[in-house]
Amino acid sequence: MKQFLVLLFVFLSVSFLHSQVTINVPGDYSTIQAAINAAKNGDLVLVADGTYLENINFMGKAITVASHFINDPDTSHITNTIIDGSNPAHPDSGTVVMFKSGEDTNSVLCGFTITGGTGTMAPSNPLLRAGGGIVLYQSGAKIMNNIIEYNIIDNIPWAYGGGIISDLASNSDIIIKDNVIQNNVCNGDDYACAGGIKISTYGYALISNNKIIGNSISASIIATGGGIKCWGPIGEIYIVSNYIKGNTVQTNYYGGGGINISECNTNPPIIENNIIVDNFSSKYGGGVLIDLNLDNLFKPGLNRHQSIPENSDFLGEQFLVNNTIYNNSATSYGGGFYAANNMTANIMNCILWGNTAPSNPQIFGTVNVSYSDIEGGWTGTGNIDEHPLFDMSSEFYHLISNSPCVDSGNPGSQYNDVEDPNNLGNPLYPAHGTLRNDMGHVGGPASLWGYWEWPVPVELTSFTATSQLGKVILNWATATEINNLGFEIERKILLNQNQGEWVRIAFLEGNGTTTEPKEYSYVDDISTIQATTLVYRLKQMDFLGTYEYSDEVFVENPSPVDYVLYQNYPNPFNPTTTITFGIPVKTHVVLKVFNAVGEEVAQFYNGEKEAGRYTFEFNAAELPSGIYLYQLKTTEYNTIKKMILMK
């Protein structure tokens, strides 16, 4: 996403050098709406960091309303410039941002957190409330680089579009790009749709490079589209390179946890290069649900909008192309993909794996599948049934280089992966292998993932761990930082055969954006921890929630704060057990085992040891059952513990 943020910054900075007037909020006007009212077409309303408790309307003006992110591509401006619509002038008009006077993509909303919306009641239907965050009614807009979150529509019979709703957008174009749309809610008593985005347009709509995460809808009769809902008219809709994760639908009928496509029979959307993971439907289609007849609808030469020319890289002859649909679930049919109403759908170069449902967990319905990896198998040209081997250290489920999905997509050159401009003849990472199509979201000519995910925004130059008397001192340094929210510190405890789990132990704030070297330090108190090895790693996060893990550092035999002899494990035992002790300084150590009458039966060690923790294995195969004593003796310490051999 960060590359797109920078590109947007450059584009807008250049385009605004001339004729526009900049109106500052709160410098020139105290509210955003007052500045919009004063603005003329082509002007920039520039909003300083802060929280603005208001609901705004673009009033049909071709203007840009933006935070200072537009001039300074530091994403902290997005998180710190908040339009909070929780106190509307009228309770029936609770949408945070409104486009309803014929706007198009010359009306731009950029660089805000949009929150607190409760939706607007439909004038023709008092049972319906729609558009918690943003409404586009018979209008278009360009909505870019915003966080749209915690907008909630409930206590209403019909609830539509928790994050964004576009309704009957005439011939106006819509671009929704590079946003984070998360944790929005639609709870309808009877009907609900689109926790994240609902699109209905006669024009052209592009939904691209968004994170659509954790949105939810619920209704007793019908609920559809936890993440995205496309409905009706004959516009051209492209859903490309989005990260659609953890959206949910609770309903007695229908579903589509990630995406639902309904009644777009004349011109169905293109769904390409998306990650659709961890979504849930309490009925059908945990990942994707469609209910339109797509057979023979997409053919080469489709008359596309001028923004997507005939020779573009979008693959219009298919419906689902190069998507990763993973780990979604439904309680009835089609955990991954559900095709309703005896329709026919086309899927190519996709991965459907790990999805769950009581019946047909990967795909339900009549579906033509080719060059795809389908768990459990599926009849069709080029299909495989092999674990895709995701790189689970990546937030975005990229493939590892030896994945069976690499170079296994459609071999036609028109489906080739994006070429690396700096290494011609080779694919742009995260694609692997040759230029032949990789199955899943990273492959194909329309994939934006090579640009979507920039390298780590923090250049980590060192990361060390040192043990000192019941403490571990962690030190790390950075050369530069971009949008660095901070570091989560995670620890894993290894003890004998127990490999342990990662646990978050602390968070240290980062330095945002800086070109100066920075140093960090954290002291972990391990005085009460029993371990043979401690493992640490850093989870570096930016202001939009993107993260990356550091390399791991190890502390062997961490030094305790005092002398300690631990209880053996297991106890009782047969015939082996482990005995662990710790010493805070270098000293002479004797470790022995005695039977119940005081006779020595084993001596593990007699000599000097450096400070640290040590483990020995005691094998009592030749000894009878009974109580045994083990003794740790040093120059300054002497203790005995009991253990039981039970054969």
Give the CB-side neighbour count of residue 402, counting CA atoms within 13 A.
Answer: 0
564-645 CATH = 2.60.40.1930
Q: How far, in Å, are 136, 388, 502, 536 from residue 506 at the CA level?
A: 42, 34, 12, 11
Fold equal for 458-556 and 564-645: yes
Q: How is residue 16 annotated by DSSP?
A: T
Average pLDDT over residues 497-524: 86
pLDDT at 512: 80
Across the chain, mean pLDDT equals: 86
Does residue 11 carry a pLDDT above 50? Answer: no
- Judged on CB neighbours under 10 Å (0-12, 13-18, 19+), 483 is buried
As a residue count, the chain comes to 647
DSSP state of 390: B
pLDDT surpasses 80 at 100: yes
User: Strand ranges (DSSP E) for 73-184?
Assistant: 81-84, 93-94, 97-99, 108-110, 113-115, 119-122, 125-130, 134-137, 141-144, 147-149, 152-160, 164-167, 174-177, 180-182
Q: Helix and strand tally (H, E) in the chain?
A: 4, 57
* DSSP structure class, residue 12: H
Q: How would residue 18 be classed by pLDDT, with cut points 50, 70 and 90?
A: very low
Mean pLDDT, residues 263-273 taken together: 76
Structure tokens at 218: 């619920």
Is the pLDDT at 265 greater than 60, yes or no? no
Q: From CA 523, how far away is CA 332, in angstroms rounded? A: 50
Where does 392-502 show beta strands of DSSP type E? Answer: 458-468, 471-494
Cα 566 to Cα 613: distance, rounded to the nearest angstrom: 10
- C-alpha–C-alpha distance, residues 129 and 12, integer Å: 34
Tell me what pLDDT residue 229 has. 93
Average pLDDT rounded to a whole number, residues 131-153: 95
Least confident of 287-301, 346-360, 612-626: 287-301
Q: Are 592 and 603 in contact (CB under 8 A)?
A: yes
Give mean pLDDT, residues 428-441.
95
How confident is the model over 423-434, as a mean pLDDT? Answer: 92
The residue among 6 and 149 whose pLDDT is bigger is 149
278-284 average pLDDT score: 95
Structure confidence at residue 342 as a pLDDT band (50, 70, 90): low
431 vs 528, residue with greater confidence: 431
pLDDT of residue 96: 98
* Banded pLDDT at 23 (limits 50, 70, 90): very high
On the question of pLDDT at 115 being above 80, the answer is yes
Residues 6+ apart with CB under 8 A from 241: 208, 209, 272, 273, 274, 441, 446, 447, 448, 449, 452
By C-alpha distance, which of 293, 259, 285, 290 is closest to 359? 285
Quote the pLDDT of residue 528.
Answer: 75
pLDDT (0 to 100) of residue 168: 64
When pLDDT is cut at 50, 70 and 90, the band that residue 170 belongs to is low
Say which residue, 482 or 526, is predicted with more confidence: 526
Two tokens, residue 8: 């947007």
pLDDT of residue 12: 42
Domain ranges of the chain: 1-199, 458-556, 564-645
The answer to whether residue 315 scores a pLDDT higher than 60 is no
Q: Is the pLDDT of residue 345 over 90?
A: no
pLDDT band for 282, please (50, 70, 90 cuts).
very high
Instruction: Answer whether residue 511 shows pLDDT above 90.
Output: no
User: What are the two backbone dihedrals, phi and then psi, of residue 451, each rounded to the nearest 5 degrees?
Assistant: -105, -30
Mean pLDDT value of segment 197-201:
89
3-state SS, residue 583: strand
User: Measuring CA to CA, which residue among 543, 568, 542, 557 is closest to residue 645?
Assistant: 568
| C-alpha to C-alpha distance for 275 and 456, rounded to whole angstroms | 20
User: Comparing C-alpha atoms, which of 149, 326, 335 is closest to residue 243?
Assistant: 326
- pLDDT the model gives residue 273: 94
Which range, of 37-41, 43-47, 56-60, 609-613, averages the lowest pLDDT? 609-613
**Model confidence band, residue 117 (pLDDT cutoffs 50, 70, 90):** very high
pLDDT at 65: 97
Q: Which of 165-179, 199-213, 274-288 has the lowest mean pLDDT?
A: 165-179
- The most distant pair of C-alpha atoms in the chain lies apart, rounded to whole Å, by 98
8-12, 200-204, 381-385: the lowest-pLDDT one: 8-12
Handedness of CA 70, 75, 77, 80 (dihedral sign): positive
Give the pLDDT of residue 59: 96
Indicate the Cα dihedral angle 619, 623, 627, 632, nearest 10°.
-50
Say whether domain 458-556 belongs to CATH 3.40.50.300: no
Which of residues 522 and 306 earns the better pLDDT score? 522
The lowest-confidence range among 282-291, 498-507, 594-603 is 498-507
Of 267-281, 347-361, 419-433, 480-494, the poorest mean pLDDT is in 480-494
Per-residue pLDDT, averaged over 569-595, amounts to 91
pLDDT of residue 281: 96
Question: pLDDT-based confidence at 545, cuts 50/70/90?
Answer: low
Burial class of residue 359 (count of CB atoms within 10 Å of its CB; 0-12, 13-18, 19+): exposed
